[in-house]
Amino acid sequence: MQKIFGTKSTPSKKALLLGAGFVVKPTLTQLSEKGVEVTVACRTLESAQKLCKDVKNTKAISLDVENAEALDAEVDKVDVAISLIPYTFHPLVIKSAIRKKKDVVTTSYTSPAMVELEKDIKEAGITVMNEIGLDPGIDHLYAVKTIDEVHKAGGKIKSFLSYCGGLPAPEASTNPLGYKFSWSARGMLLALGNNAKFYREGKVEDVSGHDLMSVAKSYATGYTGFAFVAYPNRDSTPFREKYQIPEASTIIRGTLRYAGFPELIRCIVDIGFLSQDPQDFLKPSSSEPIKWKDATAKILTATSSSEQDLTWAISSKHTFSDTDQKTRILAGLRWLGLFSSDPIIPRSSPLDTLCATLEKKMAYEEGERDLVFLQHKFEIEHQDGKHETRTSTLCEYGDPEGYSAMAKLVGLPCAVAVMQVLAGKMAKGLLAPYTPEVCDPLRKELLEVYGIDMIERTVA
């Protein structure tokens, strides 16, 4: 390793790390400790300098990835580009890497725009490794492990469920949604509007984004201390082919939240607060922002901003299952401040104006921990005809004095993948961790070096 990453006779490997998000620091720190020289590039120099502070072997620069000439100049100086910016920008980075014949690593799903570049990637003789964070990432490593073991033993995967939740630790789940933000609220809320598609008992089921919260169900993980609900996330159907389980009649990948989350979100959807349509009364201006209760009245088209009229308007747009649920949901909306005289933080649309308030009211407080809970559940038919239900579970808490669980579990797998790419251990081409050949070395290093593991249990 020392020979690969720098001695007196061989220069150190170099990486360009693009991004300023919370997962960047664990990746940066690990690469630095391995002797990789890392250039951290953000739109603003200040953001890059903040990340590089007290981290050896680093340099901060300002870079706009939409400036192809500037991007090419920086990519040309390094051995690998690590793209931790929004996924829509990854193709720009990959095109630059193709031009300069450099490798790329991302934690994002392989997008159609990336697939369009596959031929050029192969012709350039480079590695573009995607989907190596937490979800996607660690989830793949352990799904592939169990599926491969079962298949080699002559068994079949009859059902595959995979759910992941990034949440506040139970003692920090101190609001009606049981959720807190360490990043932009917008991304989470927009994800709630995505359609879902999956296999259930041999049939394809579709759920519209509007109805997503209505299909959320209590989910038994085998860890009775957690009261989770689960709902499907986007399109799970391609994973029958990606995981090579054509025999599986049920395949669902989804999200975990604490109980109470879906009901409150469904009401917020029904009353129009996730609308992205600009409204004049929500636009920033030089005048004093309107009160939340007045904004709520306008969004609901209520007769007045009194709490009684707002409640009536909500009841006309959303159906409550019973009086207890109505009381809980209205208490949640009240806690969010939607009936209050507090001024809004105007952001043009109901969605963005709500986001501004959520980020203020639902941020992690000092000393609070986050929790990542990831679980696969396999229904297995063994070669001898016996059936088994097996779970594979990762439960990780953040360190208030160090990294959050989410940052650690996204950033460290990324760093390990980068090191393997730099060491020439990855194949060339457009890659993602869907085969034992790719997954096994990554999983082994994450376990042996960082103690990151998914624990398997037979539960039935």
User: Cis omega (within 30 of 0) on the bond before 136?
Assistant: yes
Give 222-225 contacts, CB < 8 A, sequence gap 24+: 222/391, 222/393, 222/457, 222/459, 223/393, 223/395, 225/170
State the CB neighbour count (10 A cutoff) for residue 377.
Answer: 20
Rounded to whole angstroms, the Cα distance separating 293 from 281 reads 12
The C-alpha R_g of the chain, in whole angstroms, comes to 24
Residue 52, exposed/middle/buried by CB under 10 A (0-12, 13-18, 19+)?
Answer: buried
- Which residues are designated catalytic? 135
Tokens at residue 421, please?
Answer: 């790419």
Rounded to whole angstroms, the Cα distance separating 334 from 386 reads 52
Angle between helices 350-361 and 323-336 (to 10 degrees): 80
- Letter string b/e over residues 226-253, b meaning 16 or more CB atoms within 10 A of that residue's CB: bebbbbbbbebbebbebbbbeebbbbbb
